Amino acid sequence: MPHTHPDRLLVQIASYNTNLQGVQGLPQDLVDWLSPTFQVSSFLSRERRAPDVVAVGFQELLPLHLGLSGFSQHVLEDRDKLILSQIEANAPNKERYSLIAKVVNAGVALLVYGRDDTLARTICDVQTQWTGSGPLYMGNKGAVGVRFRVPSADGGIGETFTFVCAHLAAHKEYLARRIADYKHVVDTLLFPPVALGPAESRAPSNIYATSHLFLLGDLNFRLDIPPLHPLALRSNGVDFARALEDEKTREQLKEFDQLLVERRKGTVCQGLKEGEFWKFKCSYKYLLGEVDKYSPKRVPSWTDRVLYATHTDNPDTLDKSNITNVLYTSIPSYTTSDHKPIICMLLLPPPSPLPPSATAATSPSISPTTTAPPTTSSSSLTPLPPRPPILRLPSHYTPTPDSHAALKRYIGRAFDRVIGICWYVIVLLGAGSGAVGVFNFLIGVGAWTWWRSRDGGAGGRGAIAV
């Protein structure tokens, strides 16, 4: 690997399902989580190099009733201050960072930072978006996204970056629901259009309409080991945990990873690439308070993942990418959640000059999933403004933005608030316990009903006596 990469941006991605812990979900010192990526960056140059972009995603950010009620912002602000301070404290050359954007929906949150001396001061067209994929489009599951543009060094149009943090349906048996959740995210997590002409100015763009795409989060795909496999009968026991210590065993088990299997089929995460996730132990499900002990209630799985693609990638190859995956691992020292946080460091390819067709297009229309607009010889068409390059997709895959995306999102938000606030009141009645709150509520309703019937009966007897 070359010693210097001055024209290749370094992107650090971190993801953590904090198990509804709120502000208690992270220690004040994040060196175990953030510092390893800075140390690994020493492989990229003679001097340690700080990342140019840092994206941090959370799932189950705070107790669900608080998230649905709309109380996520306070926790997000707390996380923002802590993460920014820790990034700068661990930067190898005391680099400074700025928040590019943050977004949260219920318990799914994403914060993206840029390095001040490389790109943070030039970033423009910052956009955020959210969508829910739970029942009635609620936000207990779903995704949030951040998109921005980095102009080229000569002041040209540059490239766009899109980060998506997702939390998909849980449990091994709900594979079809996870796949449907991903499709819902693609169809409804929509950004402003790729503006080229009158037709495109009205069409929103999906997550693939970008130069670089990064998907992170608790995607919840599980290990689905065949019943006759030697490890199947002990998949919830100590023997299985010991087997996971061996990388060769993990490499064999990866063949039963639902996400890898479905990606090979082309049913989910189409066009995206991933590093060698089997190099680290399964990130779920651990016993709370334990560094290295799995819960017997679930088969250990790689639920927490990072996938990516760049516009120069071949969409028909599964794992070969022009993005170099420098680091992909989990951090076992965090013990307040049944998940372990993961980190990934990616070295992007050098910016490529746009072809003439992309800088002075004359086509009246363009699909948000193509890389360059078709040209035409008609002299009646006026040149269109330049646009950043965007991802190519497999020939069999053509996602279509949902025309009812906004309606679905706000229906989900309405149900979030109604159910969340009712749930919040019940928890208050139970002094922090939902079960006790329900019991107290039922007791209260019963007492009120008895009092009303008794009062009515007494009034009736009094009337007869008169």
Residue 464, pLDDT above cutoff 60: no
What pLDDT digit, counting tens, does each position of 166-220 carry? 999 999 999 999 999 999 999 999 999 875 545 555 789 999 999 999 999 999 9
* Whole-angstrom distance, CA of residue 334 vs CA of residue 106: 23
What pLDDT digit, counting tens, does each position of 434-462 carry? 665 566 666 766 777 777 777 665 554 55
Long-range contacts of 372-380, Cβ-Cβ distance < 8 Å, separation of 24 or more = 373/196
Question: Given this model, what pLDDT does residue 365 score?
Answer: 36
pTM above 0.85, yes or no: yes
Instruction: Outline where DSSP puts E strands in 173-248.
Output: 212-218
- Whether the ω angle into residue 285 lies within 30 degrees of 0, i.e. cis, is yes
Average pLDDT, the chain: 85
Residue 47: how many CB atoms within 10 A of its CB?
11
In this structure, CATH architecture of domain 10-222+257-352+386-403: 4-Layer Sandwich (3.60)
Let me know: does 76 contact 82? Beta carbons within 8 Å. no
Phi then psi for residue 127, to 5 deg, are: -135, 150
Residue 315, pLDDT above cutoff 80: yes
Number of H-type helices and E-type strands within the chain: 10, 12
Which ranges of 377-465 does DSSP label H, i.e. alpha helix? Answer: 405-429, 434-465
CB burial of 201-240 (b: ≥16 within 10 Å; e: otherwise) equals: eebbbbbbbbbbbbbbbbbbbbbebeeeeebeeebbeeeb
What pLDDT digit, counting tens, does each position of 353-392 carry? 655 444 444 333 334 444 444 444 444 555 555 789 999 9
Phi then psi for residue 296, to 5 deg, are: -75, -5
Question: Given this model, what pLDDT does residue 459 score?
Answer: 53
Question: Given this model, what pLDDT does residue 47 score?
Answer: 61
